[in-house]
Amino acid sequence: MSFAPNANIAKHLLPGDIEVIQTEVERHMQAVLDALVIDTNHDHNTQGTAKRIAKMYVREVFAGRFEAAPEVTECQNDSGLDAVYSLGPIAVRSACAHHLVPVTGRIWVGVLPGDKLIGISKFVRLANWILSRPHLQEEATLMLADELEGRLKPKGLAVVLKAQHQCMVWRGVRETGTIMTTSIMRGAFRDSKAMRTEFMAQIKD
Ligand SMILES: Nc1nc2c(ncn2[C@@H]2O[C@H](COP(=O)(O)OP(=O)(O)OP(=O)(O)O)[C@@H](O)[C@H]2O)c(=O)[nH]1
């Protein structure tokens, strides 16, 4: 059982639990605002802030912790397609586990199919589900690759994630230009330079 920041805990939740979690987060966020000496009682802008933040964390930006995986219809690769395809960019909307501030960027995926295919929108659904949790970028990339590999059983899989971390922009080193790139190459993409080159050429623009 894992309750790590980037774990999905949907299978541990009973009906009604998500409402309880959201109410708890709201109560504690109000305590944070109180601790920051913000008088939310006499300011209409922050009066509903604890409630808004709780909704944002539980239902939006960290929904990938609480919601079950999206439905992914699989079909057989009946025509025996044996060519590289790629898709992207897929928008990254995540948060770093250290400061809980946004990580935004883009993902590209390359597949040399095996026996299974999935609809291309499902790559986006799965990426959104995994990324909407507090993460380390390295782990997010690995988690997405594992998820896609488990579902597609491809002959080759490539995942490239480029992102900007607001914990380095908004605060801390305050560096506005730094992009982190993580990439995972498996199967044919790991073994063959020609395959990697073909994938890179496909996503170049
Ligand atoms: N490897 C990795 N590091 C990350 C990621 N997101 C944030 N970090 C880094 O995690 C580190 C946390 O360092 P700490 O020293 O505990 O935190 P801090 O004092 O706020 O660090 P500064 O950001 O340097 O001010 C920082 O260097 C962040 O830049 C990520 O996805 N991957």
Q: Which domains does the chain have, with CATH numbers?
A: 10-66 (1.10.286.10), 74-203 (3.30.1130.10)
User: How high is the pLDDT of residue 2?
Assistant: 82
Distance 163 CA to ligand 1 centre (A): 14
105-139 pLDDT, tens digit each: 999 999 999 999 999 999 999 999 999 999 999 99
Cβ–ligand 1 distance for 98 under 6 Å, the answer yes
Cβ–ligand 1 distance for 181 under 6 Å, the answer no
- In degrees rounded to 5, what are phi and psi of residue 7? -85, 150
User: How high is the pLDDT of residue 69?
Assistant: 98
Tally of residues, the chain: 205
User: How high is the pLDDT of residue 17?
Assistant: 98
Ligand 1 pocket test target in 6, 94, 96 with most atoms within 8 Å of CB: 96
User: How high is the pLDDT of residue 89?
Assistant: 98
User: How high is the pLDDT of residue 205?
Assistant: 75
Distance 123 CA to ligand 1 centre (A): 28
Cβ–ligand 1 distance for 170 under 6 Å, the answer no
Pairing mode of beta strands 85-96, 134-135: parallel
User: How high is the pLDDT of residue 18?
Assistant: 98
Mean pLDDT for each 10-residue chunk of the chain (205 residues)? 92 97 98 98 97 98 98 91 95 98 98 95 98 98 98 97 98 97 98 96 90
